[in-house]
Amino acid sequence: MHPASAFYHPTLCEFLLRYDDVWNLDTPEQVFLQSIYEAGATLGQRDREELERERWYQASKK
């Protein structure tokens, strides 16, 4: 989990990042959310390529 200060809270069943730690990061939202996404996709054994591909309906709007 990134950043290193992020942790899993077993009572809340959530990953947390302390407020003060957020302000010390260059891109706090991107780092933390990307890490949570990657962990969830990996642990859930999801097809990352399929999850991250551009959808046909998005491409048709271009």
In a domain, 2, yes or no: no
In a domain, 54, yes or no: yes
In a domain, 1, yes or no: no
Taking the C-alpha atoms of residue 5 and residue 16, their distance in angstroms, rounded to an integer, is 9
- Split into its structural domains, the chain has a count of 1
Taking the C-alpha atoms of residue 19 and residue 30, their distance in angstroms, rounded to an integer, is 15
In a domain, 47, yes or no: yes
In a domain, 21, yes or no: yes
Taking the C-alpha atoms of residue 54 and residue 52, their distance in angstroms, rounded to an integer, is 7
Alpha helices in 1-62 (DSSP H): 19-23, 28-43, 48-52, 56-60
In a domain, 26, yes or no: yes
In a domain, 13, yes or no: yes
Indicate the pTM of the whole model. 0.46
| Chain mean pLDDT for the chain | 76
Q: Which domain holds residue 15?
A: 7-60
In a domain, 41, yes or no: yes
* pLDDT above 90 as % of the chain: 5
